[in-house]
């Protein structure tokens, strides 16, 4: 919703607000409380060509008195390469602290642009804070919630005949952190006493639904379901982590950056994200809930294999899934292989 929240670290308190939903009126209200700082990730700072003397995951810069909403949007990477320069006289960056790191992680979890405005609060009983109806959220509570991210609970299930298999079943899993629901799709009748053919498929609206030729997601989805049906059974985990976890809005921003000449990894970095923001712990916990401990994993991505193995799932075999190459996605696939280690 864009509302500011207060993070409390011991006696220190910080008012934090998302940059993406910042308005001129909200910015003016923040300035009344103190001097805001803008906090960005190290990836975004590198794209801007700035770096602190001490390496840090997050960097904070004092917001210039003349900076408005457009300046903030430019600094945070919401604009394209042709209109991204926030000005020559950038304030000196300073490494972020624990509250700044936590606030950025909240922005990433919300699939917002990973940039925030922070106002340090001095007076515990500042009437302006009370008037906003804001309570302080202790930093350990925030850290615990972020660490717990990925815990899922099954909430409903039903039989579903599909094109791939007349015998099908869909089960919905809901996280305890208010995040997106994820789905376990049984194809055929998988034998849970043997290694199960499994695919962790991240949602791709443009590829799965619209048939985009910029990626290979749609063909991978259909090919994996067909292979499971041919094998007699399998489980497809459909994880709502669009755009490698950055969300559809940021994915489309990345697409625009790719049209301007960046590759898929460079576009993520430009926006302040890592190469891949997905959390595959979610898949491991869903499999455990389904009683699946051994899998034949359909993937070209070693990170999925490593994450499942690290969280208690025995990957007895990796099944390559090489489909969907087009003239439009050849460079995208080459970048995934060269920079993200995909086995193509």
Report, as residue numbers or ranges, the catalytic residues: 276, 278
Pull the structure tokens for residue 53.
Answer: 């003397």
| Cα R_g (the chain), whole angstroms | 22
**DSSP secondary structure string for all residues of 84-107:** ----S-PPPPEE--HHHHHHHHHH
CA quadruple 257, 261, 265, 270: dihedral sign: negative
Q: Any long-range contacts for 334-338 (C-beta under 8 Å, 24+ apart)?
A: 335/263, 335/264, 335/265, 336/264
Length of the chain: 344
Helix (H), strand (E) at residue 157: strand 152-159
CB environment 219-244: b (16+ within 10 A), e (fewer)? bbbebbbebbbebebbbbbbbebbbb
Listed residue (272, 284, 194) closest to 239, CA to CA: 284
Residue 28, burial from CB neighbour count under 10 angstroms (0-12, 13-18, 19+): exposed
121 neighbors 14 (Cβ within 8 angstroms): yes
Give the CA distances from residue 264 to residues 253, 261, 309, 341, in Å, rounded to whole numbers and listed in that order: 11, 10, 27, 13
Whole-number Å distance between alpha carbons of 140 and 187: 41
The secondary structure of residue 83, as a DSSP letter, is G
Give the β-pairing of 115-121 and 12-18: antiparallel
CB environment 130-141: b (16+ within 10 A), e (fewer)? eeeebebbebee
């Amino acid at each position: 919703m864009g509302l500011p929240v207060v993070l409390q670290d011991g006696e220190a308190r910080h008012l934090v607000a998302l940059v993406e939903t910042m308005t001129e009126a909200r910015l003016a209200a923040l300035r009344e409380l103190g001097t805001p700082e803008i906090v960005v990730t190290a990836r975004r700072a590198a794209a801007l060509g700035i770096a602190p003397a001490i390496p840090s995951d997050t960097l904070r810069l004092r917001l210039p008195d003349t900076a408005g909403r457009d300046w903030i949007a430019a600094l945070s990477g919401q604009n394209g390469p042709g209109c991204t320069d926030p000005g020559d006289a950038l304030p000196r960056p300073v490494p972020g602290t624990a509250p700044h790191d936590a606030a950025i992680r909240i922005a990433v979890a919300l699939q917002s642009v990973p940039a925030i405005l922070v106002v340090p609060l001095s007076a515990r009983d500042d009437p302006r804070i009370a008037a906003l109806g804001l309570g302080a959220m202790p930093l350990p509570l925030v850290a615990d919630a972020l660490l717990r991210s990925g815990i899922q609970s099954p909430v409903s299930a039903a039989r579903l005949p599909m094109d791939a298999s007349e015998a099908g079943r869909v089960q919905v899993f809901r996280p305890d952190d208010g995040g997106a629901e994820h789905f376990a799709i049984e194809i055929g009748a998988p034998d849970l006493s043997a290694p199960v053919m499994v695919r962790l498929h991240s949602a791709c609206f443009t590829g799965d639904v619209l048939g985009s030729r910029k990626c290979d997601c749609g063909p991978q989805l259909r090919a994996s379901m067909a292979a499971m049906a041919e094998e007699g059974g399998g489980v497809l985990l459909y994880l709502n982590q669009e755009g490698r976890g950055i969300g559809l809005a940021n994915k489309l921003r990345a697409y625009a950056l790719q049209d301007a000449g960046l590759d898929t990894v460079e576009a993520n970095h430009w926006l302040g994200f890592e190469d891949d923001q997905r959390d595959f712990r979610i898949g491991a916990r869903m499999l455990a809930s389904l009683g699946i401990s051994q899998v034949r994993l359909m993937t070209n991505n070693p990170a999925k294999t490593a994450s499942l193995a690290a969280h208690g799932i025995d990957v007895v075999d990796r099944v390559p899934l090489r489909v969907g190459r087009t003239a439009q996605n050849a460079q995208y696939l080459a970048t995934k292989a060269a920079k993200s280690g995909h086995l193509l």
